Chains A and B, each alone.
Chain A
């Protein structure tokens, strides 16, 4: 058994020679490793930022624990520089806990930089290639403040509490041991297991001197042992090992149905053990009261599978599943939704043909039951794809802090609604837009502390980032209390850049002028950005948000700040829509964009500045004939058309889409049009209907934009005619 460990050692020692790194981690464990590490890095980052705001014992404890756990994780995979760095960070946090050290902004910089280094070191485990980062200077800088404090962390030395002298009476290394100190419960357990034919083994193990995280090794040993039997009692306890309170040696009793040899094999696979001994537990137990003990056996057999077993059960309840598989599942559910619609149509046809014959009614009942199941299935699969938006929001404090420091501004970031859940593909899609908006808020929204003081505002600006579920949609808000957007400046910038004429600019309301920041031309050059004060790549932000069926609007109060509001669908895969007919074709309009639909026959169409419009809800609703917009011919056969106006909204703008006929509401599965066709203005994809035909999905924001541009050009045309 020792030989095998030496081989392992040897491979590790040879790392430097062939330049690729070896870690003690299986390929299938890497994902878990990454998740663990990322989680702890995130906790540290968040905690450090909180601590920078002021003392916070909770935050301090959580960063300390994160550093500590990270050290253990690094030790387990055998990443020494990572373990060393986290150890140093842990020591710093410990010093802070004991109030021997306080967190300056410079120290926070160093700690955050160290987190970045840790990220690079983490990647080494995946790539097995050295990152080329030398941790020595990082360590030196971190230790700087500690040296002044005379507490110099010594990397290989364990904290004082780990000295053997502090150990509770545990059996000496590999010595014979008289263990008579079982509680009556444990004794009863031993007897109970023996009665069931288990062998009781007494196991002792000790880690090699200088092992980085000895407790982690022992923890590993206990978990490995729990796979081949039931641990009846152990010293130190599982909790103590988890906390790394004690431990370079372990004593435990294992009830197992395999033999001692197999157990030795298991321990052989645990690295950094200096030695272990597995022997049958010979002590005969005197159980005092038979009645008492049988009672005890029953209850202890249940309870005493103690913390580690419950931990295991906890793990068994969750299954890791790849995103691809979830996507496939979602697609299949989508197909099912389509088929359900088709079934309902067939049932309708049968009913027309056969009336309410018994089997038609039975079919109807079956379909409605199936529909409920499909609905539930859809919801469950959707839920399985949901993640709390904290995954995204957690990265924001660091971003805002760095942006603020670079810009020389003081910014508080307030985050709300982190637990709001949304589809993971949406979380992925909004990452970049959100970063953009936050940077914009800090760079262009929030003023310098001096300017703020002069304007009678507190020198520290506030950026509020919030997420909430509202009416089946997700609303994300990025709000700042900065200078706001000046509509005069956006007008000037747009004219300067030739996006609109001065005449057009003059015709724009302030609200409309502000939406100019989303126009592509406004953001392409630095000067325009400086003039407009805002608008770096906001067109890209809007495009990205629109692409996933969301919308973005801005609310602005000059001098008081701006609010960007993102409205997003819960899922990208299945879209509730209203199907409409344009000529012979079927189009789907997302329900989320629809405010109301009216029959054209019920309203009075008037002409406003040459545009067809109706009066609707105390406002003028411009009409846009969707069939003409798409250049489609009128219906070729028959005429069951009943033209309707579908009032759709995008941001603050409303347009009435004139369609030939409203077919009805339907949930559809969004499919792309494919690369051969590419991006079509006014369309966002297509879907296969229950009858096998394909319907195109209307991109409401694209259409409203087109309509808005047409309207902006309208005054100029009027001047000509």
Chain B
């Protein structure tokens, strides 16, 4: 058994998400800010004719903001049937990680809230933080979003 991970970096740390949830990886493109939306929501962008909400993972994890570089990417993941883009510093590689090398999260080892983490993979000298995408949208915020969904659903049906 091994996990296939898409590995990316944020503030020099390595993070991984399961490749199965990654829809695509795109370069940073113009993002339209949406006023009055949750703070970590960067805005919306046009993903091949679809409206893609984009979140800034640095903001989400409380990391200091950085100017985008030529390596900055948007990792498009599917969460609960909808696509969401996550801005990351860079995408480094796709890795196969044996299950044995994955350890339970320990608060000491990472700067990121352990609630967002499912485990930590040791690959050679590197530590890769495995993200729990479900929780990257924290439960209470998700609860709020659920309440809003009926309104959105009606909008969708009208399109």
Contact = CB atoms under 8 A, between A and B. Distances in A.
Interface string B148-159: 110110111111
B51 A678 contact: no
A80 B35 CA distance: 61
A548 B51 contact: no
Contacts of A681: 36
B152 A672 contact: yes
A573 interface: yes
A686 interface: yes
B80 to A, nearest CB: 9
A129 B43 CA distance: 49
B157 A677 contact: no
A585 B31 CA distance: 10
B49 A585 contact: no
Nearest to B155: A672
B158 A425 contact: yes
A682 B55 contact: no
Most buried by B among A327, A334, A673: A673
Contacts of A547: 151, 154-155
Nearest to B144: A678
A353 B47 CA distance: 29
Contacts of B111: none
A685 interface: yes
A649 interface: no
A6 interface: no
A673 B152 CA distance: 8
Contact of A676 (B32, B49, B82, B159): B82
B16 interface: no
B33 interface: yes
A573 B145 CA distance: 24
B51 A429 contact: no
B148 A675 contact: yes
Contacts of A696: 32, 34-35
Contact of A672 (B37, B41, B46, B51): B51
Contacts of B52: 674
A694 B53 contact: no
Given A670-B155, A673-B53, A680 B44 contact: no
Contact of B44 (A428, A669, A673, A684): A673
Interface residues of A, number: 42
Contacts of A327: 157, 159
Interface string B4-45: 000000000000000000000000001011111110010111
Interface in A522-576: 547-548, 572-573
Contacts of B148: 675, 678-679
A630 interface: yes
Contact of B53 (A676, A679, A684): A676
Nearest to B45: A694
Contacts of A678: 37, 144-145, 148-149, 151-152
Nearest to A692: B46
A427 to B, nearest CB: 12
A674 B152 contact: yes
B127 interface: no
B12 to A, nearest CB: 27
Contacts of A573: 158-159
A632 B33 contact: yes
Contacts of B55: 676
A25 to B, nearest CB: 29
A707 interface: no
B90 interface: no
A271 B145 CA distance: 55
Most buried by A among B35, B38, B45, B144: B35
B35 A680 contact: yes
Nearest to B146: A675
Contacts of B45: 694
Contacts of A428: 157
Nearest to B154: A547
B133 interface: no
In this complex, the interface size class of chain B, counting residues with CB under 8 Å from chain A, is: 20 to 34
Contact of A572 (B51, B137, B159): B159
B35 A632 contact: yes
Interface string B127-140: 00000000001000
Nearest to B41: A677
Contacts of A85: none
Contacts of A671: 51, 159
A695 B32 CA distance: 7
B87 interface: no
Contacts of B156: 672
Contact of B145 (A632, A670, A676, A695): A676
A300 interface: no
Interface string A680-707: 1111111010001111100000000000
A331 interface: yes
A680 B55 CA distance: 16
Contact of B157 (A334, A425, A630, A676): A425
Most buried by A among B43, B145, B152: B152
B157 to A, nearest CB: 6
Contact of A682 (B36, B137, B152, B159): B36
B76 interface: no
Interface string A615-636: 0000000000000001110000
Interface in B40-73: 41, 43-46, 49, 51-53, 55
A630 B32 contact: no
Given A671-B51, A682-B35, A331 B44 contact: no
Contact of A694 (B44, B82, B145): B44
Contacts of B84: 676
A680 B157 contact: no
A313 B144 CA distance: 55
Nearest to A627: B35
A674 B33 contact: no
Contacts of A394: none
A672 B44 CA distance: 11
Contacts of A429: 154, 158
A670 B159 CA distance: 6
A674 B159 contact: no
Contacts of B157: 327, 425, 428
A676 B51 contact: no
A155 interface: no
Contacts of A426: 158
Contacts of B159: 327, 330-331, 334, 572-573, 669-672
A677 B34 contact: yes
A515 to B, nearest CB: 22
Contacts of A682: 35-36
Nearest to A573: B159
Given A671-B159, A672-B156, 11 more contacts: A327-B157, A330-B159, A572-B159, A586-B32, A674-B53, A675-B148, A676-B137, A682-B36, A688-B46, A688-B49, A694-B46
24 contacts: A331-B159, A547-B154, A548-B158, A572-B158, A572-B159, A573-B158, A585-B32, A671-B159, A672-B51, A672-B155, A673-B37, A673-B152, A674-B53, A674-B152, A675-B148, A676-B84, A676-B145, A677-B34, A677-B41, A683-B35, A683-B36, A688-B46, A688-B49, A694-B43
Interface of B: 30, 32-38, 41, 43-46, 49, 51-53, 55, 82, 84, 137, 144-145, 148-149, 151-152, 154-159
